[in-house]
Amino acid sequence: MASSPVPTPTASVPLPEADPDLAPRNTSATRLASAPTAVSLERVNKWYGAFHVLRDVDLTVRKGERIVICGPSGSGKSTLIRCINRLEEHQAGRIVVDGIELTNDLKRIDEIRREVGMVFQHFNLFPHLTVLENCTLAPIWVKKMPKAEAEAIAMRYLTRVKIPNQAHKYPGQLSGGQQQRVAIARSLCMAPKIMLFDEPTSALDPEMVKEVLDTMVGLADEGMTMLCVTHEMGFARQVADRVIFMDEGQIVESNTPDAFFRAPQHERTRLFLSQILH
Amino acid sequence: MTAGPMTAGAQPLTFVRREAVPAAPPPSLVAGPLAWLRQNLFSSPANAAMTLAALAVIALVVPPLLRFLVIDAVWTGENRDACRPEVIGRPVGACWAFVANKINYFIYGSYPIEERWRPNVFFVLMAFGVGWMLWLDAPKRAWGALYFFVVFPVLSYGLLAGVPVLGLPSVPTSLWGGMLVTLLVSLVGIVASLPLGILLALGRRSRLPIVRLFCVIFIEFWRGVPLITVLFMANVMLPLFLPGDVTVDRLVRPLVGIALFSAAYMAEVVRGGLQAIPRGQTEGAMSLGLSPWHRMRLIILPQALRIVIPGIVNSFIALFKDTSLVSIVGIFDFIRTIESARVDPAWAAPTVVMTGYAFAALFYFVFCFGMSRYARFMERRLAAGQTR
């Protein structure tokens, strides 16, 4: 795969003098330097029973930053992004999303979930509702939006993910790739500031992976803040500002895609990459 | 194996089709009535034997049944003489004259004759409300629900029990009877048990230990006790626990007992449905910011209840038939009115008893079969387009 045409700094140290508006894609350090923080995790720890699944995870995500998280199964990457919208509860440390700290306060959790969209490996569409109803449900019930307005917005996003003509079908009648694009549209209907992707292409047939990735690339081009757990390394190279490698509940390596793939720093990362890049 | 040009390259492959084969109509051997018979009834020697055996059973059972119920039946008459073979000089089948003569008693029990328009109005109100609820495309179903769950019960109570202030003389429940009581008890049981059952099922899956414990104890208690015991306890023991001046109506007591009893069964049915919904559904709804109440109402329950429609209807049907047990605590439900009418000396004839029971069977069958068919219709309709 060709590396990015733009020369990228190999170190992840941000360059403070850059103008975010002029920077082309993948010069993450320059574009993001002055962007405000979208998500910050400080010494986050989580246990499943006695199993220590997240160990002292520190991570700061800037607004507009695209992060790809990879790592072997069981390394805690899904758990990490599920903590960000409180599908999982962390037991120690601080998680601040869009300026709101995650605590047990249910009101705040709901506020954060409204701001954070999530796309799941198994889509988690509602099979008893049509595609359109899937998309309008949350705007109508959570944002109290009038039905007509919610439907107009839903149709706009369904058009964006290129399936407006399937709006009145049920999810079960669509292909996996179409279902995942509906799931993306459903999240976008809530106008989220941050999007979380939990292995969005892992359950898809190979010929459907591309249509979902294309949608995600389009989203990245519009400046959406994205955290993606994925093993699509082509996607990582193309859009990520940063690639994070996790193992045994810790962030082992965090670097620009170019540096990450060209010169991985840790032995564990090299082993992982050699196993997934055939 | 056929020898062919297996090697690719410049040489063309001979065995590859160049155009798609158009769909052809099936040969006559696989379609049409004869093919159907052959496929379904005589596909194998064992199947053919079973088909013949079934035909033999039908031939044995149906003609005598028809003879009794229709051909030899007596349709009109004023008293036992109409149904006595020695009087009318022919074999006598079902004595429908007896049913026709007693039909008002079967419908109203001992409800005062001059007030029987009131149960009639109640039946109309009930049919109206049930129809409004069951017709899924009916206009203003929210109003229908308000009518059915609030207006109709209040109105019915006033109507049947009486409001002396408004000029409706009060009729004590001891005079109510027949189909009126059977339908009333079933309706209250069905309408109360589903929401109660849903609440208990949710409580049993709650994360709060006190709520869960309460629900488990409640469900296991009612499931562990026979309905007859519940009815006896409601009738005999409940007054012992209440202060002396408080009396609960003798019809209300078993009514509450039946509702709680079937709610416990309903809870387990609903719980089965809840367990079948994957965790991802809740997570998907959570990630969109839906509140727990909305998640339950809009996502989980509609799917869970659809899955358990057969179980719910099964419970409803069982409940409908179990209401006949209230007769043992002295309530004149439909079965009890038949029991007491059949011993009337004015109608002492050989087939009167059988006719009474046949009529009861017909009544229960019509309602239960109706429920069953409606449930099938509902399942098919809700399943439209939704394949998992």
Establish if B301 belongs to a structural domain. Answer: yes
Among the partner residues B284, B290, B306, nearest to A128 by beta-carbon distance: B306
Establish if B18 belongs to a structural domain. Answer: no
**What residues in B contact A85, CB-CB < 8 Å?**
286-287
Residue B343: domain span: 96-111+171-383
What is the model's pLDDT at position A30? 62
Instruction: Tell me the per-residue pLDDT of B99-116, one tens digit each, with 9 for 90 and over.
Output: 999 999 999 998 998 888
Determine contact: A47 vs chain B, CB below 8 A: no
- Three-state DSSP class for residue A46: strand
**What residues in B contact A170, CB-CB < 8 Å?**
385-387
Among the partner residues A114, A170, A196, nearest to B289 by beta-carbon distance: A114
Q: Which two tokens stand for residue A167?
A: 């709006």
What is the model's pLDDT at position B239? 76
What is the model's pLDDT at position A11? 41
> What whole-number distance in Å separates Cα of residue B354 and Cα of residue B83?
12
Binding-face residues of B in 365-384 toward A, CB within 8 A: 382
Contacts of A90 (CB under 8 A, 6+ apart): A44, A45, A46, A54, A83, A102
What is the model's pLDDT at position B38? 82
Residue B105's CATH number:
1.10.3720.10
Binding-face residues of A in 206-265 toward B, CB within 8 A: none
Residues A50/A251, Cβ–Cβ less than 8 Å: no
The domain limits of chain A are 34-275
What is the model's pLDDT at position B247? 74
Q: Where are the alpha helices (DSSP H) in chain A?
A: 28-32, 77-84, 106-115, 131-141, 147-160, 176-188, 206-221, 233-239, 257-262, 267-276
Among the partner residues A116, A142, A187, nearest to B290 by beta-carbon distance: A142
Establish if B60 belongs to a structural domain. Answer: no
Q: Which of A263-267, B144-148, B153-157, B285-289 has the highest mean pLDDT?
A: B285-289
Q: Where are the alpha helices (DSSP H) in chain B?
A: 33-40, 45-66, 85-88, 96-108, 117-134, 141-146, 152-161, 178-204, 209-224, 227-232, 238-241, 252-275, 279-287, 292-294, 301-307, 309-322, 334-341, 352-383
Q: Nearest CA of chain B to the CA of A75: how many Å? A: 21
Establish if B221 belongs to a structural domain. Answer: yes
What is the model's pLDDT at position B140? 84
What is the model's pLDDT at position B12? 61
Lowest average pLDDT, out of A274-278, B25-29, B44-48, B100-104, goes to B25-29
Range A34-275 classified under CATH 2.170.190.11 = no
Mean pLDDT, chain B, integer = 87
Determine contact: B291 vs chain A, CB below 8 A: yes
Instruction: Tell me the per-residue pLDDT of B226-276, one tens digit each, with 9 for 90 and over.
Output: 999 999 888 887 777 777 777 778 888 888 889 999 999 999 999 999 999
Top pLDDT among A131 and B81 is at A131
Contact B287 A118 (CB under 8 A): yes
Establish if B131 belongs to a structural domain. Answer: no
What is the model's pLDDT at position B41? 84
Is it the case that residue B51 has pLDDT exceeding 80? Answer: yes
Query: What's the full length of chain B, in residues?
Result: 388
Average pLDDT over residues B350-359: 91
Among the partner residues A87, A186, A187, nearest to B286 by beta-carbon distance: A87
Contact B287 A172 (CB under 8 A): no
**Above pLDDT 90, what percent of chain B?**
47
Is it the case that residue B352 has pLDDT exceeding 60? Answer: yes
Top pLDDT among A232 and B137 is at A232
Confidence of residue B385 (pLDDT cuts 50, 70, 90): low
Contact A113 B287 (CB under 8 A): yes
- DSSP state string for B271-318: HHHHHTS-HHHHHHHHHTT--HHHIIIIIIHHHHHHHTHHHHHHHHHH
Contact A110 B298 (CB under 8 A): no
Determine contact: B276 vs chain A, CB below 8 A: no
Binding-face residues of B in 196-215 toward A, CB within 8 A: none
Residue of chain B whose Cα is closest to the Cα of A121 = B280
Determine contact: B44 vs chain A, CB below 8 A: no
Confidence of residue B293 (pLDDT cuts 50, 70, 90): very high
Establish if B140 belongs to a structural domain. Answer: no
> How many domains does the structure of chain B reveal?
1
What is the model's pLDDT at position A213? 93
The angle at the Cα of B111, spanning B105 to B112, to the nearest 5 degrees, equals 110
Contacts of A196 (CB under 8 A, 6+ apart): A81, A82, A84, A85, A116, A117, A118, A119, A226, A227, A228, B287
What is the model's pLDDT at position B10? 59
Among the partner residues B281, B286, B291, nearest to A126 by beta-carbon distance: B281
What is the model's pLDDT at position B386? 62
Average pLDDT over residues B285-307: 93
What is the model's pLDDT at position B5? 47
Give backbone dihedrals phi and psi of B95, rounded to 5 degrees, phi first. -100, 75
Establish if B309 belongs to a structural domain. Answer: yes
Establish if B23 belongs to a structural domain. Answer: no
Q: Tell me the average confidence (pLDDT) per consecutive run of 10 residues in chain A, 278 residues long.
A: 43 41 49 83 93 93 93 92 93 92 88 93 93 96 95 95 92 93 95 94 90 92 93 91 93 92 90 83
